[in-house]
Every structure is written in C-alpha cells, then in structure tokens.
Amino acid sequence: MTTAELLGEADWVTDGGLETDLLFNKGLDLPHFAAFPLLEDADGRSLLEQYYAEYASIASTVGAGLVLETPTWRANPDWAAQLGYDAAALDAINKRAVDLLRSVARRADVPRVLVSGVLGPRGDGYVATGIDAEEAAEYHAPQVRSFVEAGVDVVHAMTVTASTEALGVVRAARAAGVPVAISFTVETDGTLPDGTLLGDAIRTLDAEDAPDWYGVNCAHPTHLQPALDASAELSQRDSSWKTRIAGFRPNASTLSHAELDEMTELDTGDLALLTNSTAHLREALPCLQVVGGCCGTDASHVAALWGAQSPTGR
C-alpha cells in the first residue's frame, strides 16, 4: 500500500508527548520511560484511553483523520527485559496495545483512523547506535510481527538516530507485508545524532529500501530549520527529499537532547514560537499531513498546532 493510499490527501492529527505527559502532568512513575506496562491493568488502560480520546476530540473538531500510535516506544527486547518481560509477554503486550487503540478508534467521531504500531530505537533515543541494518531487521522483526498479527495499518519507527537502524526496520516491515514509516530525530543543528544531515539520511534510505513516508519527531521546529536551510544551498534535485516528509511531532522545548536529559521539571516551551515555527515548516514541507507532538507537549499544544481549542481546558 502506498503513502497516497494510506494518507490520501487528508490532514491527520496524532498525539503528543505521551511519556512526558504521563510523568509530569499525570504524576505517574514510568521506569525506563516505558508507558506500555500501563496496559497490564484496568486503571492504566483507562488512563490511556482518556489520553487518546483528547486527540480524537481535536481531530473531530478540525475535521481531520486520526493516527493512533501505540504506547510501545520502549516495548522492544532490550528495554522490556529490564522491566521483566520475556518474549512471550512482550508479544502479548504489543498486541494488547493495538487492541486498545482499535477500541478507541471505534468510539472516535472522525472521518478515518489509522492504527500505527510504534517502535523505538534499540538504544537511547538521543544517542546514535552502532547497529547495522541486518542486525536491526532481525532485532525489530518480532515486534513488527506482533503488530501485524494484531492488525495494525502501519508500523512507525520513531526517534530513529541513524539510517542503518531505519533500514533494518523497513526490511522487517517489508518481510511482514506491512506499510512502514520512519521518523528521524535531529539535533539543534538539523543533523541526526550520528552527525548525518537529515536530507542525506533520507536520500540514503530511499536508495536502499524506501519506507512509505518519513517524519521527524522529538525536535523543536527551529531544530529542523537548519536541515532545510542546508538543502536550499544544494540543487533542486537534492532538495526533493523534503517532499518525502509527511509527519512531524515536535518537542515543546528548544533545548537540546542533552539538556532535556538533565531536566527534572517539564519544559512546556513557548507556545507561540512552537505554533509559528511549525506553520513556517508547513510552508517548507509541501507533503506534511500528520502533525502531533513529542516531549513536553500535551493535547493543548497539539490543539494549538491545529488552530483548535484545547480539549483539556489547559
């Protein structure tokens, strides 16, 4: 299935910074920054349903589609093992995440819903990993299979720090027969954590095994701007990578990844700067359709990005 077949020409709302919202706004303890253990009990599932319902409300208000992303960014073998999950338990929790979002989707008053199975990097989301494509494909394949067996519409790897791991995810998704999106993260200078320019990473991956679309997450809009400025210095052919970006989930804060790692309080950022700089990116990225948030954002930020009133009253 192509990007056009999945996204069409519609706009799509997706959610905000799930983990930081739960930690700082809801007061939950999330060991290893993992949200998926909330799926284990009724109270946790209810909290997640309420969280996603806020974004369904925004999508309904603005007449957009809704991309529901599973709370499984940490639900891979290395991170889950630290929380006591073996392979069988991990398979079950990834499937449970999809089931929860299917339930949310049935109640959402929106034109269309896509359920996205979220994968995170094997390592830390802010540090480049040395994993090669073959190893990454083998590593991420079980989570991809769990998502496919549960009936996701697309697999989405977020906060990817290097094109090699991205390539492995794409190959695992292709082997499982499911559409796949890749969202890279960038530092304040517009480069990936491994030092690669965003445009170069996209061109490299497209030449090897292209995903269905790209996104950028866990970076403020002003951090993405240097990547766009760098492409402007190249030929028009070299800047065509910008048409491949269909999704953006910004951080609220302008702080660097290293600075955010040291934070003990939530930086909710300058909302006017976030909305204005995101609007500028929309002009520069002609195929941008899916917009939500990442660290430090909640439903109030995402609503503002869509020009809507916050469903939470914040």
List of residues 6+ apart from 115 with CB closer than 8 A: 68, 70, 98, 101, 102, 105, 151, 152, 153, 154
List of domains in the chain: 11-305 (3.20.20.330)
What stretches of 43-144 adopt beta strand conformation (E)?
65-69, 113-119
Token pair, residue 221, equals: 């809009």
Provide the pairing of β-strand 154-160 with 180-184: parallel
List of residues 6+ apart from 272 with CB closer than 8 A: none
pLDDT at 130: 73
- Note down pLDDT in tens along the chain; length 314 residues: 666 688 998 999 999 999 999 999 999 999 999 999 999 999 999 999 999 999 999 999 999 999 999 999 999 999 999 999 999 999 999 999 999 999 999 999 999 999 999 999 998 777 777 789 999 999 999 999 999 999 999 999 999 999 999 999 999 999 999 999 999 999 999 999 988 999 999 999 999 999 999 999 999 999 998 888 865 555 444 678 999 999 999 999 988 787 777 777 787 889 999 999 999 999 999 999 999 999 999 999 999 999 998 887 66
pLDDT at 260: 79
List of residues 6+ apart from 77 with CB closer than 8 A: 87, 90, 139, 142
Q: What is the pLDDT of residues 12-33, one digit of tens each?
A: 999 999 999 999 999 999 999 9
The pTM assigned to this predicted structure is: 0.94
pLDDT at 236: 45
Distance CA 314, CA 171 (A): 42
